[in-house]
C-alpha cells in the first residue's frame, strides 16, 4: 500500500504580526495535488492542523476543505490532534468527519479500541493503524488509568506512560497478513527539532525513547517536530516535518510530505516530495548601508542590524526592506557584561538594575530612563514595599 504522511500544518499561524492565510491555501493545495498524482491508499495527518487551540473561522474553513479534498482523491484519511490543537474541539467535528469519510481522533478518550483504525486498500491489502493524539503529562496518567493499565502512578515518567499505552494499543499487531501502522504526536529522544516548536512540549520531560514503538510495526508516522527526518527505531519511523517553515528558526528546513510504500513482507520505502507554496523565510544582517543592497523581495525577513540602538532604527530598516517582519540588533553588537552584572546585582534597586540593562544594550536614551522612573513611581505608590522586596 502507499501512504502520504504529513503533519504540523499550523493553519492560522501569524508570523510576527503577519497572517499566512494565503500561503496555507497554496501549500495545502499542493499537498492535495501530490495526493492526486501519487494516488496513496491512505493519508495520515499526524497532528497540529491548527496553530492555536481556538482557530478562526477562516482557519477552520481551510483545514476542512483540505481534508475533504484529500478524501476526494480516493485515499482514506486519518487525522490525529497535536499539542497546538484543541483535542475535544476536534472530536466535536467527528460527525462531520465521519459523514465525509474521514477518521478524526482529536484526543484520547475512554475507549481504547477506537484508537485502532482498520482498513483495506482497493488492492486487498489489510492494514491497521494505532492513532495516538498528543497527550499532556497529566492526561497521560489519566489515559493509563482509564485503560486499567498496571502501575499507573504519577511518579512514573511521561515516557513510561506512553510506552505502556502504545503497548496496549498495538497488542493486535501479531495478526498475519496485516500491515501494522502507528501515528503519534511525540518528541523522540535524539531527533532534531525544526526550530519553531512549542518549547514546553519538546523539552526532555516530554521526550520518549524510540524503543516505545513495537518491532512488528511496518511504519510509524510522527508529527510534532517540524524537520523531516528518519528516526533510529526498532521499526521504520519518520517525522514528515511541516509543509512550510513555521518560524525563522526553520528557514533552512526543506518543507515536504513523505510518500511511503509498504507491504507485509517488504521494508517501508520512503521518499520526500518538496512543498514550495510558502514564502521563504530568510535572516539577513548588516549595517544600514549593507542592508540597502539586500534584494529579497519574495521572502519574509528577519533583520539583525549592526548599528547602535536608537529611536527610529526599526522604521529606517523597514523603509529599506518592506518585507522585514522582525528587526533586532545583531547580538554580536552587544557587549558581554553578564559576569559583571551578576556580581553587582545583589542589593541594587530596580532603577539601578534597569539602568544596567540599558547600558548593556548601549541605550543612552534618557527618555526611556525617565519613563521607567515614572512607571516605577506609580507602582511604588500602589505597593510601597516594592523597592525593598526587589520587585
Q: How confident is the model at residue 8 (pLDDT cuts 50, 70, 90)?
A: very high
- Asked if pLDDT for residue 356 goes beyond 60, the answer is yes
List Cβ neighbours of 94 (8 Å cut-off, separation of 6 or more).
104, 106
Q: Angle formed by the axes of helices 350-360 and 338-345, to 10°? A: 170
Rounded average pLDDT over 359-375: 72
- Asked if pLDDT for residue 192 goes beyond 90, the answer is no
Please answer whether residues 274 and 240 qualify as being in contact, where contact means their C-beta atoms are separated by less than 8 angstroms.
Answer: no
Please answer whether residues 91 and 52 qualify as being in contact, where contact means their C-beta atoms are separated by less than 8 angstroms.
Answer: no
Cα–Cα distance between 12 and 70 in angstroms, integer?
19
Q: Angle formed by the axes of helices 350-360 and 366-382, to 10°? A: 150
Please answer whether residues 168 and 147 qualify as being in contact, where contact means their C-beta atoms are separated by less than 8 angstroms.
Answer: yes
Strands 18-19 and 14-15: what pairing? antiparallel
Please answer whether residues 284 and 269 qualify as being in contact, where contact means their C-beta atoms are separated by less than 8 angstroms.
Answer: no
Alpha helices in the chain (DSSP H): 21-38, 57-72, 87-92, 94-99, 137-146, 158-169, 288-291, 313-320, 338-345, 350-360, 366-382, 386-389
Please answer whether residues 41 and 77 qualify as being in contact, where contact means their C-beta atoms are separated by less than 8 angstroms.
Answer: no
- Asked if pLDDT for residue 338 goes beyond 70, the answer is no
Cα distance from N-terminal residue to C-terminal residue, the chain: 62
Phi, psi (rounded to 5 degrees) for 241: 75, 170
Q: Angle formed by the axes of helices 158-169 and 137-146, to 10°? A: 40
Q: Which of 85, 2, 70, 86 is nearest to 30 (CA)?
A: 70
- Asked if pLDDT for residue 360 goes beyond 80, the answer is no
Rounded average pLDDT over 115-124: 94
The cell numbers describing 315, all together, are 522604521
Rounded average pLDDT over 298-322: 92
Q: What percent of the chain has pLDDT over 70?
A: 84
- The 3-state DSSP class for residue 50 equals strand
- Asked if pLDDT for residue 345 goes beyond 80, the answer is no
- Asked if pLDDT for residue 304 goes beyond 80, the answer is yes
Which tens digit of pLDDT belongs to each residue from 122-175? 999 999 999 999 988 777 767 766 666 665 555 578 888 889 899 999 999 999
Cα–Cα distance between 231 and 367 in angstroms, integer?
53
Cα–Cα distance between 36 and 45 in angstroms, integer?
16
Q: What pLDDT does residue 391 have?
A: 42
Cα–Cα distance between 214 and 127 in angstroms, integer?
16
Instruction: Encode burial over 305-332: b for 16+ CB neighbours within 10 A, e otherwise.
Output: bebebeeeebeebeeebebbbbbebeee
Instruction: Encode burial over 217-253: b for 16+ CB neighbours within 10 A, e otherwise.
Output: bbbbbbbbbbbbbebebebbbbbbbbbbbbbbbbbeb
Cα–Cα distance between 149 and 40 in angstroms, integer?
36
Strands 256-263 and 219-223: what pairing? unpaired
Which tens digit of pLDDT belongs to each residue from 105-114? 999 887 888 9
Instruction: Encode burial over 183-209: b for 16+ CB neighbours within 10 A, e otherwise.
Output: bbbbbbeebeebbbbeeebbeeebbbe
Amino acid at each position: 500500500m502507499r501512504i502520504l504522511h504529513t503533519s504540523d500544518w499550523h493553519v492560522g499561524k501569524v508570523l510576527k504580526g503577519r497572517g499566512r492565510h494565503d500561503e496555507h491555501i497554496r501549500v495545502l493545495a499542493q499537498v492535495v495535488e501530490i495526493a492526486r498524482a501519487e494516488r496513496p491508499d491512505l493519508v495520515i495527518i499526524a497532528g497540529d492542523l491548527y496553530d492555536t487551540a481556538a482557530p478562526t473561522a477562516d482557519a477552520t474553513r481551510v483545514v476542512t476543505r483540505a481534508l475533504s479534498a484529500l478524501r476526494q482523491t480516493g485515499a482514506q484519511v486519518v487525522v490525529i490532534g497535536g499539542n497546538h490543537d484543541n483535542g475535544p474541539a476536534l472530536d466535536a467535528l467527528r460527525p462531520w468527519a465521519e459523514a465525509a469519510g474521514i477518521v478524526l481522533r482529536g484526543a484520547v478518550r475512554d475507549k481504547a479500541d477506537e484508537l485502532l483504525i482498520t482498513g483495506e486498500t482497493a488492492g486487498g491489502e489489510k492494514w491497521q493503524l494505532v492513532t495516538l493524539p498528543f497527550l499532556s503529562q497529566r492526561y497521560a496518567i489519566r489515559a493509563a488509568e482509564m485503560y486499567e493499565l498496571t502501575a499507573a502512578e504519577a511518579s512514573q515518567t511521561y515516557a513510561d506512560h506512553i510506552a505502556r499505552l502504545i503497548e496496549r494499543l498495538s497488542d493486535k499487531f501479531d495478526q498475519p497478513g496485516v500491515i501494522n501502522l502507528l501515528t503519534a504526536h511525540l518528541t523522540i529522544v535524539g531527533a532534531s527539532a525544526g526550530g519553531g516548536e512549542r518549547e514546553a512540549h519538546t523539552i526532555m520531560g516530554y521526550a520518549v525513547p524510540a524503543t516505545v514503538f513495537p518491532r512488528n510495526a511496518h511504519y510509524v508516522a510522527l508529527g510534532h517536530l517540524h524537520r523531516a527526518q528518519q528516526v533510529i527505531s526498532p521499526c521504520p519511523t519518520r517525522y514528515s516535518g511541516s509543509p512550510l517553515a513555521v518560524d525563522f528558526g526553520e528557514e533552512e528546513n526543506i518543507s515536504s510530505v513523505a510518500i511511503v510504500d509498504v507491504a507485509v513482507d517488504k521494508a517501508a520505502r520512503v521518499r520526500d516530495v518538496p512543498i514550495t507554496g510558502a514564502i521563504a523565510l530568510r535572516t539577513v544582517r548588516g549595517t544600514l548601508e549593507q542592508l540597502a543592497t539586500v534584494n529579497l523581495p519574495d521572502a519574509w525577513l528577519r533583520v539583525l542590524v549592526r548599528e547602535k540602538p536608537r529611536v527610529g532604527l526599526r522604521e529606517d530598516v523597514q523603509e529599506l526592506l518592506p518585507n522585514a517582519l522582525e528587526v533586532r540588533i545583531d547580538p554580536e553588537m552587544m557587549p558581554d557584561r553578564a559576569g559583571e552584572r551578576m556580581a553587582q546585582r545583589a542589593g541594587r534597586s530596580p532603577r539601578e538594575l534597569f539602568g544596567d540593562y540599558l547600558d548593556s544594550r548601549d541605550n543612552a536614551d534618557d527618555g526611556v530612563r525617565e519613563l521607567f522612573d515614572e512607571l516605577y513611581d506609580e507602582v511604588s505608590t500602589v505597593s510601597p514595599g516594592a523597592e525593598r522586596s526587589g520587585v
